[in-house]
Amino acid sequence: MFILPEFKKPYNAFEPFIDEETMRIHHQLHHGAYVNNLNQALADENLVDEKPSLEALFEKISDYSVKLRNNAGGHYNHSLFWTILNEEKNQPSKEFSLAVEKSFESFENFEELFKKAALSVFGSGWAWLVLDNNELKITTTKNQDNPLMSDAHQGYPLFGVDVWEHAYYLRYQNKRGEYLDNIWELLDWKTISERFKNQSPLSVPFK
């Protein structure tokens, strides 16, 4: 069974950019529900004994139910999201910075393009920076879809930003742009640079 990863910081760690109540509800209730519903969906499809990884499920995602799709995506997306937020600012690696400049000319331009993409998501979804054939690209997905899903084939996600209203509504209401500007202050460039270097599978807890 998948289990909800522990939240490794106090829920108020990202104040004032993301408020404590939003973080608590987002982790315990939203992410918690994705994990529970994913376990149910795996049971419904007799997949529990196989103990498939999230990446293995994504490879054959169109073979499975919508419930499995939404909740496997929800579990991966949120597990990744918590790891790429850090209230202590850090710097990207040289290799990653060069790749950003190669694809987007400058970091400032990258930030602007990312924000534009994230604002363009109609309704609920995610904006992503992916690595596709050694090239950085900005993409978006609807609902809890993930760039690794076989019918999306967008590449390996270096980081994603949750643009569901539940990620920001308490503090920002309809001001998604302001949330995006502020979340940029929290991105953990060290972790993102490591994902760029290693492209490791996401580590998620089981019991």
Q: Which is nearer to Mn ion, 96 or 168 (CB)?
A: 168
Task: Work out the widest C-alpha separation in the chain, in whole angstroms.
Answer: 48
**Separation of CA 172 from chain center:** 20
- Residues lying near Mn ion in the complex (CB under 5 A) are found at 162, 164, 167
Shortest approach of Mn ion to residue 96 CB, angstroms?
Answer: 25
Report d(CA 6, CA 175) in Å as an integer. 29
Report d(CA 109, CA 100) in Å as an integer. 9
Q: Which is nearer to Mn ion, 1 or 29 (CB)?
A: 29
Tokens of 73: 């995506």
Structural contact between residues 13 and 186, judged by C-beta atoms closer than 8 angstroms: no
Q: Which is nearer to Mn ion, 18 or 136 (CB)?
A: 18
- Burial category of 63 from C-beta neighbours within 10 Å (exposed 0-12, middle 13-18, buried 19 and up): exposed
Q: Which is nearer to Mn ion, 96 or 164 (CB)?
A: 164
Sheet strands (E) in the chain: 125-132, 135-142, 156-162
Shortest approach of Mn ion to residue 199 CB, angstroms?
Answer: 24
Q: Which is nearer to Mn ion, 159 or 164 (CB)?
A: 164
Shortest approach of Mn ion to residue 164 CB, angstroms?
Answer: 5
Shortest approach of Mn ion to residue 22 CB, angstroms?
Answer: 10
The residue number whose beta carbon is nearest to Mn ion equals 162
Shortest approach of Mn ion to residue 35 CB, angstroms?
Answer: 13
